[in-house]
Amino acid sequence: MQPLLTLALTACFLAHRDAATGKVKQKFECQKGATLDVDWRDNDSFASCSVDKSIYVCKLGQDQPVAEFEGHKDEVNAVKWDPTGTLLASCSDDCTAKVWSIDNGGAPRLDLHGKEGHAKEIYTIKWSPTGSGTANPNQRLLLATASFDKTVKVSQLHSTPLYSTCQHTDRGE
């Protein structure tokens, strides 16, 4: 069972609470703005993102973040670990998605959606349940991004970045 983690959207911190008592066991005060998303990597570490354009990887029991990623030019809306917990994807109001690795010294490992990018903010991302560490290890790992431009873009990480685009339209258009 994963520990209880509370997002405090206005107080700019994450709180690790004891599930039985509700008491705060540890506070993570790394973000300077409201925290928008959090994703567990494993049972004791997680990533969080914020309106301050930052991404932090924190570990329960440690006072300082394990890693900090900076590179987005606007609010970071979502973060998601790949199925192996080695790659972290993020998306932003700057219309980009990035893939990070703790082993890469804080620089993005891959910027997705260069000139084929989204025309508006990307509000969510999701890894496919494929690749190493999944029930489908022989299928390629894909990353989907969804944007306010009414498109979903699917990227394959180890070849041409843009794999597929799906356009949503309103009925009656």
Radius of gyration of the chain (CA): 17
User: Distances from the Cα of 172 to the Cαs of 147, 149, 150, 169, in angstroms?
Assistant: 21, 17, 15, 9
pLDDT at 165: 65
Has residue 172 been placed in a domain?
A: no
Backbone angles phi, psi at 146, to 5 degrees: -120, 140
Per the structure, how many domains does the chain have?
1
Check the CA dihedral 37-50-84-112 and report its sign: positive
E strand intervals along 10-66: 13-17, 24-28, 35-40, 45-50, 54-59
pLDDT at 43: 87
Digitized pLDDT (tens) for each residue of the chain, 173 residues in all? 555 554 444 444 555 666 677 776 677 767 778 889 999 999 888 999 999 999 999 888 888 888 999 999 999 999 999 998 989 999 999 999 999 987 766 566 776 655 467 899 999 999 999 888 889 989 888 899 999 999 898 888 765 545 566 666 665 55
Has residue 173 been placed in a domain?
A: no
Q: Which domain holds residue 101?
A: 4-167
Distance from C-alpha of 122 to C-alpha of 148, rounded to nearest angstrom: 7
Find the CATH number of the domain harbouring 74. 2.130.10.10
